[in-house]
């Protein structure tokens, strides 16, 4: 029997790339999965693919605090608890800082950093109750700044620093806080 059997897992950004692979693997391992994305069509396609599985997909822009709160509410209303939150939603950017608009960097931070903060803030009471896990999908860019990706690197440095602080805060709670830092992957990001 899989560790994930009957666990309730939220995966943000589950319509493409790493997120979609996580959703598929978790469902195959017996988890109950809630995911989100910005594309209604992609979510509909996922729901069709996983029609006979314990799966919910909801349109959510993680840069919007209210939409993150609704995502967490949906998980609780549907499955009654949250065991694992995987903060995966993210975007990238490619341009030299001198050529990048501040709006671009702000958007990257809003999704990559604030999206994880919002979702975790609303999920954490439930995760504390289940003594579950908060995870963040970061990047090697969270360890070293990548030229041409200054805003992306900053967002991943922020994510990792915040998760490290949260991990320390949660040491006596039974909650596990972790992050993964993949290198370059073949995905739409």
Instruction: Give the model confidence (pLDDT) of 14-71 as tens digits.
Output: 999 999 999 999 999 999 999 999 999 999 999 999 999 999 999 999 999 999 999 9
Collect all residues with Cβ–Cβ distance below 8 Å to 129 and sequence separation of at least 6: 81
Q: Where are the beta strands (DSSP E) in 71-162?
A: 84-87, 133-137
- pLDDT at position 189 over 90: no
Collect all residues with Cβ–Cβ distance below 8 Å to 115 and sequence separation of at least 6: 12, 62, 63, 68, 87, 89, 90
pLDDT of residue 142: 84
Q: Once rounded to an integer, what is the mean pLDDT over residues 142-163?
A: 94
Place of tokens 């314990």: 54
152 classed as catalytic: yes
75-to-1, 49, 109, 123 alpha-carbon distances in Å: 23, 19, 25, 9
User: Tens digits of per-residue pLDDT, 154-166?
Assistant: 999 999 999 999 9
Q: Which entry of 44, 118, 143, 152 is annotated as an active-site residue?
A: 152
Nearest to 153 by CA among 85, 95, 86: 95
**C-alpha to C-alpha distance for 7 and 32, rounded to whole angstroms:** 6
Q: Once rounded to an integer, what is the mean pLDDT over residues 147-175?
A: 96
Place of tokens 């702000």: 106
pLDDT-derived band at 140 (thresholds 50, 70, 90) equals: confident
**C-alpha to C-alpha distance for 35 and 130, rounded to whole angstroms:** 19
| 89 neighbors 19 (Cβ within 8 angstroms) | yes
pLDDT-derived band at 187 (thresholds 50, 70, 90) equals: low
Query: How does the average pLDDT of the chain come out, rounded?
Result: 95
Q: In what order do the strands lie in the sheet with 55-59?
A: 55-59, 32-37, 8-11, 84-87, 133-137, 176-180
Q: Once rounded to an integer, what is the mean pLDDT over residues 81-108?
A: 96
């Amino acid at each position: 029997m899989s560790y994930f059997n009957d666990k309730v897992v939220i995966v943000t950004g589950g319509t493409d790339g790493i997120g979609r692979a996580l959703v598929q693997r978790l469902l195959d391992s017996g988890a109950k999965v809630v995911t989100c994305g910005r594309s209604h069509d992609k979510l509909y396609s996922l729901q069709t693919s996983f029609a006979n599985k314990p799966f919910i997909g909801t349109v959510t822009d993680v840069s919007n605090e209210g939409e993150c709160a609704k995502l967490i509410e949906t998980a609780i209303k549907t499955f009654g608890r949250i065991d694992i939150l995987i903060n995966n939603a993210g975007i990238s950017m490619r341009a030299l800082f001198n050529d990048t608009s501040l709006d671009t960097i702000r958007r990257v931070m809003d999704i990559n950093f604030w999206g994880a903060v919002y979702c975790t803030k609303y999920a954490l009471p439930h995760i504390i109750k289940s003594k579950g896990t908060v995870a963040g999908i970061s990047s090697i860019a969270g360890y070293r700044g990548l030229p041409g990706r200054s805003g992306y690197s900053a967002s991943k440095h922020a994510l990792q620093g915040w998760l490290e602080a949260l991990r320390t805060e949660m040491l006596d709670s039974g909650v596990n806080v972790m992050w993964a830092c993949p290198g370059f992957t073949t995905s739409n990001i």
